[in-house]
Amino acid sequence: MTTPVAPGKRPLVGHGLGFGLKPLEFLNAQRPLGAVTALTIGPWRARIINDADLVREMLVSRPKEFLKEGPLYELSSAFVGNGLAISEGPYHRRQRRLIQPAFSRARMPQYHSVMRQAAEEMTSPWSDGDRLNVWNDLFHLAVSVIGNMLSPGRFPREKTERIVWAVATASAGIGWRSVTPAMWLHRLPTPEYQRFTRAQQILHAFADEAIAVHRSRKDAPEEHFLTILLGARDEHGDPLSAKELRDEVVTLFSAGSATVATSLAWALHLLSHDRKADETACVEIRDVLEGRPVTAADLPRLEYLGRIVTEVLRLYPPAWLLPRITQDAAELGGHVIPPGTHVFFSPYSIHRDPTLYPDPDTFDPDRWLPENSTSRPRSAYVPFGAGVHQCIGNNFALTEATIALATILPAWRLAPVPGARVRIRPRALLEPDGLALTARARTEETK
Ligand code: HEM
């Protein structure tokens, strides 16, 4: 049996304005209206899936009915080709099978030293009292991790700068193009178009060079990320083509840099306002590491820090709104969804549902203690999505965030700049707008 979809608040005039101006408030307001709500955004008919279990059903049990296709993915293909983050169907399944081994949990320890070094390099120019451009520092950190993971020697700072610029330019360009349906506008030879094209060239050239250098190496380690990609064979014995390899390397930078940087920026923001959590984390890190740099073996023992990272991703999931599209008519939770409908779900809105998380807007790492979390359904936590498209870099991201915090926090307390107002800016990711922190060196007494 089917029931009508609950309408959004202003079905006659469309919802583009409310959604465009205050999307997070808009999404939160949809939840009480029903498990599935209907809205119109410009020329598009859309549905929002507000219920966590229905989102899980869509992603895990019925991905073939709700496809990862549509304008956003078409625009992204200018950069990532048909890379894993935007591909669908049998092609996606093949790519995922070939690439997955490079991201297995067992592979993570080999990335630890580049992650730790990047955090050390980020903090080495800091001095007591410095006002930091934290977001910029963290974006460089995340790009440098991937750059160093792909390169035989140290990845030069100058290349990191260029890739940061290219990823940011690509993301901004895709952002405005996705809300400007007139395709001819996208290709006007404006300065923006030239920057967009330049960003594409930088990312493609870097990927091609990294692959060529790796192919020519006689000493490439077996477990190296690119060795795994170059050695991967599908069921017909075919390797990834040069174009496919490039797409996947560019995908790494675009999917795996700003996401991690944003999470870390929110973590430092939250800790700057919560002295108790900051000190509890520092005591734990000091007890576990005893002054040593963090290693693979330490991570399972940094339990409180792990809960901080989990809670940060609950409150501020970088990928806050994710789209799907129906090819054929579909039915979800008793609601009929016509073919060609844009279907959205929001990890942000699910994570702020008071029926799943008491006091949902409060930062509370201890809500992840086993005694406080075992009764919570699995569907309630989706910062990395779920099902066939679940983030392939989830272990990588969690490891990188934990290592970065375990390196930064023992030496530095980040204090909010008085008067600074941090707001959530929902763009491609959930960015912290106005984040300003001062570095305070921890003395022996405050360590
Ligand atoms: C905190 C950091 C991160 C967050 C919150 C995040 C979030 C997500 C989410 C929600 C998805 C699923 C999108 C969907 O279902 O439409 C996804 C997919 C993906 N992510 Fe991440 N991600 C993070 C870090 C990374 C990193 C570090 C990498 C790589 C180094 C990465 C690579 C990818 C790829 C390739 C996909 C596509 C997977 C597929 O469709 O098979 N991500 N990510």
pLDDT attached to residue 269: 98
pLDDT attached to residue 33: 94
Mean pLDDT, all residues of the chain: 92
pLDDT digits (tens, 9 = 90+) for 316-329: 999 999 999 999 99
446 inside domain? no
**Pocket of ligand 1, candidates 321, 350, 391: which has the most ligand atoms within 8 Å of its Cβ, to mutate?**
391
pLDDT attached to residue 174: 87
381 inside domain? no
pLDDT digits (tens, 9 = 90+) for 274-286: 999 999 999 999 9
139 inside domain? yes
pLDDT attached to residue 446: 57
> From ligand 1's centre to the CA of 12, what distance in Å?
36
Give me the mean pLDDT over the 93-122 stretch.
94
Question: What is the CA angle 369-370-376, rounded to 5?
Answer: 100
> From ligand 1's centre to the CA of 100, what distance in Å?
12
Q: Which amino acid is at 242?
A: A
Give me the mean pLDDT over the 59-84 stretch.
92
Q: Is 103 in the pocket of ligand 1 (CB under 6 A)?
A: no
Taken in order 424, 429, 434, 435, the sign of the CA dihedral is positive
Q: Is 351 in the pocket of ligand 1 (CB under 6 A)?
A: no
pLDDT digits (tens, 9 = 90+) for 16-30: 667 778 999 999 999
Instruction: Specify the residue with its C-alpha closest to ligand 1, atom 1.
Output: 260
Is 342's pLDDT higher than 70? yes
> From ligand 1's centre to the CA of 2, what distance in Å?
34
328 inside domain? yes
Where residue 170 sits, what CATH number does that domain have?
A: 1.10.630.10
Q: How confident is the model at residue 296 (pLDDT cuts 50, 70, 90)?
A: confident
Closest ligand 1 atom, residue 248 Cα: 35
Q: Is 164 in the pocket of ligand 1 (CB under 6 A)?
A: no
430 inside domain? yes
Instruction: Specify the residue with its C-alpha closest to ligand 1, atom 26.
Output: 256
Other beta carbons less than 10 A from residue 336's beta carbon: 15
> From ligand 1's centre to the CA of 360, what distance in Å?
24
402 inside domain? yes
pLDDT digits (tens, 9 = 90+) for 233-250: 999 999 999 999 999 999
Unique residue bearing structure tokens 């934990």: 402
> From ligand 1's centre to the CA of 131, what distance in Å?
31
How large is the angle between the packed helices 394-408 and 303-315, nearest 10 degrees? Answer: 120
Q: Is 8 in the pocket of ligand 1 (CB under 6 A)?
A: no
> From ligand 1's centre to the CA of 384, what distance in Å?
6
78 inside domain? yes
Give me the mean pLDDT over the 339-357 stretch.
97
- Rounded Cα distance, 103 and 396, in Å: 7
Domain with 342, as residue range(s), is: 6-357+393-441
- Calculate the alpha carbon distances from 270 to 324, 361, 364, 384 in Å: 32, 12, 10, 20
> From ligand 1's centre to the CA of 331, what distance in Å?
27
What are the two backbone dihedrals, phi and then psi, of residue 167, each rounded to the nearest 5 degrees? Answer: -65, -40
What are the two backbone dihedrals, phi and then psi, of residue 170, each rounded to the nearest 5 degrees? Answer: -60, -45
Spatial CB neighbours of 208, under 8 Å, sequence gap ≥ 6: 242, 246
pLDDT attached to residue 6: 54
pLDDT digits (tens, 9 = 90+) for 205-223: 999 999 999 999 998 999 8
Q: Is 312 in the pocket of ligand 1 (CB under 6 A)?
A: no
87 inside domain? yes
Q: Is 82 in the pocket of ligand 1 (CB under 6 A)?
A: no
As for how many domains the chain has, the answer is 1
> From ligand 1's centre to the CA of 341, what distance in Å?
23
**Pocket of ligand 1, candidates 79, 259, 321, 400: which has the most ligand atoms within 8 Å of its Cβ, to mutate?**
259
